[in-house]
Structure formats: structure tokens, C-alpha cells
Amino acid sequence: MDTERAPLQYACDITEDDLWEVFDFLHPKLEALEAGHDPGTDEHRAADALARMLSSAVLQLEWDIRAPFWRPYRTRRGPTTVLVWAPPPEAVLSARDEWRLDKIRENWNALCDGLQVWRDCEGYDPERWHKVDFHDAAAEAEYERRCEELGLGRRKPS
């Protein structure tokens, strides 16, 4: 675990390293639990299922972090399908990036929700392995502005 990194604040700050550190922390615990029970028992199946879900969650988050969602080509229809260079408008790119960050935030928060039962164990990183409320600083500032505009107090962070 890299202790030099800043505490996690936003979805845009979640890195592949965070994902694989969570995996490296939790997967051995699940493997040990699985190995400690005979195949076919509920305990063995539960540990195997959780290990599979952990792998799936980490790989899905890694995909979302690595690959911003946009395609620089559009398909032109006609007698022959042709890919034509057509970069999406800025508004489309921005909306897709917001959607991607929202997906990262939701999946990260779900992972951290399950992970928190180990928060008192050695190796758990409370500075990075916690839920995040916003995509980035701009989203938080917009939330603050709207709350102030409506005369609302800020909600308690998760």
C-alpha cells in the first residue's frame, strides 16, 4: 500500500492502484476462508462467491477507470456501412464522462460498503477505502452553490 498518496476525496481520484490494493487485501482472506471449508459446504460456496464478486467488481471498475467512454467514429448508413471520423460534441463528451464517473462512484461505494467490515484489520486503508460523494471538486462546488441558493444545509457526507 502506498502511504504517500493523498486521502481519497472524489471519484476522479480513484486509481487502478486503489482497486488492486483492495483486491490484494481482501482476496487472501476469502481464499483462506474457502480453503478452510470442504467443497460443497455453505461456507466454501460463500467464500468462493464473494471472491468471484470481488474479482468482477475490481475488473469492472478498472475498465471504467482505464477507458473513458467515447468513440471517435460514427457509422454512416447507406448501401455500404462506412466509419466516418466525427468527434462527438463537447456536451456529449462531458455527459459521457459524468456518466462514467457516476458509475465509478457508485461501484466504488458499493465495494467500500462491503469492505468496511474489515476496517479494524491491519492493512485496511481508511484514508482511501471509503465512500465518495462527488465526481470531482467542480461537482462538489456546484452542490454547495445549489444548497446555498436554496437555503439548505449541506447533507452529512457518507
pLDDT, tens digit, 9 for 90 and up, residues 13-45: 999 999 999 999 999 999 999 999 999 999 999
Show the cell assigned to 152.
439548505
72 vs 121: CA distance, rounded Å: 46
Show the cell assigned to 103.
458509475
Per-residue confidence (pLDDT) for residue 94, from 0 to 100? 83
Sign of the alpha-carbon torsion through 119, 121, 126, 129 = negative
Per-residue confidence (pLDDT) for residue 151, from 0 to 100? 87
Residue in the block written with cell 480453503: 35
User: Is the pTM for the entire model greater than 0.85?
Assistant: no
Contact status, residue 17 vs residue 109, Cβ threshold 8 Å: no
Residue 139, number of CB atoms within 10 A of its CB: 18
Residue 8, number of CB atoms within 10 A of its CB: 20
Over the chain, what is the mean pLDDT? 87
